[in-house]
Amino acid sequence: MHKITKPKLVKIRSANEAKKYGIAAANLKELIKKGCNLLKVSSSKVHVCLYEDGTVVTEEYFQNLPNNTELVLLPEGQSWNGLVHEINQVLGLDRDTDLLISAANNLLSDEHSPKRRRILGDLLRNLRDNSELENREEDKDWFKGIDARFKTKSAYMKYNCESRIRGYLKEVDGYTQTIPNAKTKSEYKKVVEILADKLKAARYNGTYFDRSERDIHRLCTEEGWFTCQGAFDENNCAFLHSINPYGSRESRILFSTWNLDHLIEKKRTVMPTLAEALKGNKSGDINVDYFYKLLFTRENLKLVHIVCHKKGAHELSCDSRKIYKRVRRTVKSKHIHNPLVKYAA
């Protein structure tokens, strides 16, 4: 007489749907048949795995499963990697953002764990993303506190970058007051004037934060995402910091804590080197292009999250071969008294 196997109660679902069905089955074959009928999929060449970690379920494994185990029914060639798959589903659910926000808000209303509240809060901040909106009329909240003359996000972000670069120029100009020698100070002022003219022509490099600019001119993606470039002495960001200030007012405000960090430091190194180079020399002897790049361009600037902005001395110096202009040697070269000027044959 054959032993009657007691049906096992399990929950089955497909990889593409969150809805689960309760099924009573005495064996794996029966489970697959019932599951295919409920999920409306072909019963040929399908397999079952654990929802939790993707372990493939065999007949022997099925018989040892506890009741109410969650299973996934998969067609041939499709695999399931457990919760990783679920995370990928959440990341790709742009069309159901409102449902996700509602669900996260419901969870948050009854959640008391600080850690879980932080995770849910971060999720909500990222879901409430209006980065696809550009104009003031489309996203009024983003523009709160911003002067009415700015009609688009890109225009304001360009201004934001320009303001930072203008600030650097102001610091360079302010260093003039620390130079005791009158002649050196006068030549330093001339260099500052040249730097100011170059910056004005370049529109203060505001393109760095403007997502509407060409790829080679901006630091962000066309959607507005910025990625931390890592500390001055690292090749990339170990924390994978990223932000889209175009997405929300909060992200825009948080982006103000990110820094354009000078690799060769502006105050400790670049400005003192420029002043020192002008002792006994004229502004015309200086390779202003080199100092312009060090002070105001991506050649010496890295965009970094505040955590990756190291405040200590960088211990990097200017390239002595680039400080002065290279001039052609002439028969009258003996009249040029400055031994530091670089000559080209």
Q: % helix / strand / coil in the chain, to the nearest 5?
A: 45, 15, 45
Overall domain count for the chain: 3
For residues 66 and 198, membership in a common domain is answered with no
For residues 248 and 280, membership in a common domain is answered with yes
Question: Which of residues 32, 57, 87 is at a domain's end?
Answer: 87
Q: Which residues in 159-170 are b (16+ Cβ under 10 Å) and which e? A: bbbbebbbebbe
Q: Residue 314, Cβ neighbours under 10 Å: how many?
A: 16
For residues 243 and 103, membership in a common domain is answered with no
- pLDDT(42) > 70: yes
For residues 114 and 205, membership in a common domain is answered with no
Closest CA to 246 of 221, 228, 229, 216: 221
- pLDDT(222) > 60: yes
Which of the four pLDDT bands, split at 50, 70 and 90, describes residue 17? confident
Task: Answer whether residue 320 is part of any domain.
Answer: no
pLDDT digits (tens, 9 = 90+) for 165-177: 999 999 999 999 9
Alpha-carbon span 303 to 323, nearest angstrom: 25
For residues 242 and 270, membership in a common domain is answered with yes
For residues 41 and 115, membership in a common domain is answered with no
Alpha-carbon span 258 to 302, nearest angstrom: 10
Q: What is the value of pTM for the model shown?
A: 0.70
Beta bridge pairs of residue 71: 12, 50
- pLDDT(344) > 70: no
For residues 185 and 304, membership in a common domain is answered with yes
For residues 78 and 103, membership in a common domain is answered with no
Task: Answer whether residue 148 is part of any domain.
Answer: no
At 292 the pLDDT is 98
Q: The tokens of 107 are what?
A: 């969870």
For residues 116 and 195, membership in a common domain is answered with no
List the domain range (segments joined by +) for residue 50: 8-87
